[in-house]
């Protein structure tokens, strides 16, 4: 049977989609190739959120088809996911050697389309149409494909986003919000736990909007909190995480869940985007700086040790030095454990792309640099504060760089490296933090709970 190599760009949802595609292909008899050179089929699962991510995948594809033409006749190559959705047929016009372009609602059809291409029944396939119930079609998991994934798994709970932030292409690449049912999600989680998974991360572009039209608020609890409670009931599951919530939908019921549900890890990724009320409005974010700060305060009250992570965009159209100063001051006020900073990138057909006062690239670079410096200084201080403390980690497996070292995560989502062995794999254990590296903690397994 043919072998396939899948390369993934972008977010955790893309990783999850790729994993489901790989599992689906393996079930049909395909094998996973270690490199694109050794593969009969090469698939790039793409990201469109910024131009740089698109260019990376296009350059990669140019390279793959260049080699295929010379050395690998008959190799099938394809684009999947967000860029495939947003550019469709254009991608084949640009790169005529590409055989397959499949949009974000078609991941479950990869095997059937590859069969047709490999059998020579069709020469090219482009499918970016909407498909009902595609949100429930990504179910397969590949737990043994990588040692790390067997302990911790992603579960997709919804697709799409209706928020339409003015900079963001996701509502057009991923479509309207569609949620799976709570029993369906719980059944998938249960199955994963039976297969040895101890930690589940619930995924969606805007999980705070989960099933809000389908499941009424009950006892003050939104559908998403009801889902958390249902997943929390699963025996054998140790840890629950989710990403990404939206500050606008982050109600008191969700804040209280942190204090109430012990399996819910004290870690939150809450995208901020900007600290300026004027820009938040132009971005169509639906909250103010004060509201955001209030939310952080409540979360810290509920869980004082909570790890707080965020996304910030610099150089959004019209961003003045004063707006940027507001972002800096908000970062100082919150003290994020880490922040992902992005230079604003114009996306096709988004309102921000045609807004006046686009910020010159050089200024985006400069602000990126300044914000990064601040964020890193604060983050390093937070890391140093762990030295001498004992923390619980879930051991994921050997570290990629050094096989004698094992890697795990704290409940607040920090990576810990320690001298481990295969018997530690999948264990929840306590380690004492001895020193810190760049965004890493080094621990000593003081007490091992075997
Ligand atoms: N709701 C999703 C957002 C996906 S995009 C989530 O939170 O995972 C991920 C991040 O990319 C956003 O939070 C934003 O900070 C950044 N981003 C989105 N569009 C962008 C653009 N046009 N330019 C630069 N950064 C962008
Ligand atoms: Fe994008 Fe805003 Fe939704 S960032 S994914 S439109 S919440």
Summarised one tens digit per residue, pLDDT across range 303-314 is 999 999 999 999
Question: Which among 24, 224, 230 is positioned nearest to 113, based on CA atoms?
Answer: 24
Residue 450 has a pLDDT of 45
Q: Where are the beta strands (DSSP E) in 68-197?
A: 76-81, 100-102, 125-127, 152-156, 158-159, 178-179
Tokens 């507001």: give the residue. Answer: 326
Classify 349 in phi/psi space as left (phi over 0), alpha (psi -120 to 50) or beta.
Answer: left
Cα angle for residues 264, 268, 272 (degrees, 5° grid):
155
Give me the torsion for CA of 187, 188, 193, 198, rounded to 10°: -120
Residue 147 has a pLDDT of 45
> Residue 278 pLDDT > 70, yes or no?
yes
> Residue 213 pLDDT > 90, yes or no?
yes
The protein residue whose alpha carbon is closest to atom 12 in ligand 1 is 311
> Residue 144 pLDDT > 70, yes or no?
no
DSSP class per residue in 233-280 = T-TT--EEEEE---GGG--HHHHHHHHH-TTB-SEEE---B-S-HHHH
Going from the Cα of 156 to the center of ligand 2, the distance in angstroms, rounded, reads: 16
The protein residue whose alpha carbon is closest to atom 5 in ligand 1 is 49
> Residue 253 pLDDT > 80, yes or no?
yes
Question: Which among 347, 346, 207, 331 is positioned nearest to 264, based on CA atoms?
Answer: 207
Distance CA 373, CA 77 (A): 40
Give the model's confidence band at 135: pLDDT under 50 very low, under 70 low, under 90 confident, else very high.
confident
Average pLDDT over residues 337-352: 97
Distance CA 200, CA 181 (A): 17
Average pLDDT over residues 239-259: 97
Q: Quick one: DSSP state of residue 286?
A: -
Residue 448 has a pLDDT of 47
If one compares 438 and 16, the residue with the highest pLDDT of the two is: 16
Q: Are the C-beta atoms of residues 278 and 323 closer than 8 Å to each other? A: yes
Average pLDDT over residues 127-155: 82
The pLDDT mean for the chain works out to 94
- Among 50, 171, 177, 280, the mutation site with the greatest number of ligand 2 atoms within 8 A of its Cβ is 171
The number of the ligand nearest the C-alpha atom of 173 reads 2
Average pLDDT over residues 155-165: 97
Give the model's confidence band at 264: pLDDT under 50 very low, under 70 low, under 90 confident, else very high.
very high
């Amino acid at each position: 049977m043919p072998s396939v190599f899948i390369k993934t760009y972008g977010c955790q949802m893309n990783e999850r989609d790729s994993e489901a595609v790989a599992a689906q292909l393996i079930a049909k008899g395909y094998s996973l190739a270690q490199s694109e050179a050794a593969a009969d089929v090469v698939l790039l699962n793409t990201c469109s959120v910024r131009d740089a991510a698109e260019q990376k995948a296009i350059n990669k594809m140019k390279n793959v088809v260049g080699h295929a033409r010379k050395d690998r006749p008959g190799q099938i190559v394809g684009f999947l996911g967000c860029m495939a959705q947003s550019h469709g047929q254009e991608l084949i016009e640009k790169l005529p050697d590409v055989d397959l372009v499949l949009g974000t609602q078609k991941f479950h059809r990869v095997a059937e389309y590859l069969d047709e291409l490999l059998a020579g029944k069709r020469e090219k396939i482009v499918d970016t149409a909407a498909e009902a119930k595609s949100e429930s079609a990504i179910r397969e998991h590949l737990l043994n494909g990588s040692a790390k994934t067997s302990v911790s798994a992603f579960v997709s709970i919804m697709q799409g986003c209706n928020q339409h932030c003015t900079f963001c292409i996701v509502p057009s690449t991923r479509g309207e919000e569609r949620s799976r049912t709570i029993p369906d999600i719980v059944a998938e989680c249960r199955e994963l736990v039976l297969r040895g998974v101890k930690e589940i991360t619930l995924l969606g572009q805007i999980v705070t909007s989960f099933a809000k039209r389908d499941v009424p608020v009950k006892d003050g609890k939104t559908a998403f909190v009801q889902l958390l409670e249902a997943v929390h009931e699963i025996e054998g599951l140790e840890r629950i995480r989710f990403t990404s919530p939206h500050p606008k939908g982050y109600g008191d019921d969700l804040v209280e869940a942190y204090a109430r549900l012990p399996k819910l890890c004290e870690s939150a990724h809450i995208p901020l985007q900007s600290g300026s009320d004027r820009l938040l409005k132009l971005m169509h974010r639906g909250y103010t700086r004060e509201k955001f700060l209030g939310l952080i305060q409540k979360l810290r009250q509920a869980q004082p040790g909570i790890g707080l992570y965020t996304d910030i965009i610099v150089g959004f159209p019209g961003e003045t030095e004063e707006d940027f100063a507001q972002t800096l001051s908000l970062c100082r006020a919150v003290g994020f454990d880490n922040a992902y900073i992005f230079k604003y990138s114009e996306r096709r057909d988004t309102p921000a792309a045609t807004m006046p006062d686009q910020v010159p690239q050089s200024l985006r670079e400069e602000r990126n640099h300044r914000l990064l410096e601040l964020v890193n200084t604060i983050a390093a201080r937070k890391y140093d504060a762990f030295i001498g403390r004992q923390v619980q980690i879930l051991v994921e497996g050997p570290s990629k760089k050094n096989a004698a070292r094992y890697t795990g995560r704290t409940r607040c989502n920090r990576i810990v490296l320690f001298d481990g062995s295969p018997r530690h794999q999948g264990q929840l254990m306590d380690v004492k933090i001895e020193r810190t590296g760049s965004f890493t903690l080094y621990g000593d397994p003081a007490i091992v709970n075997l």
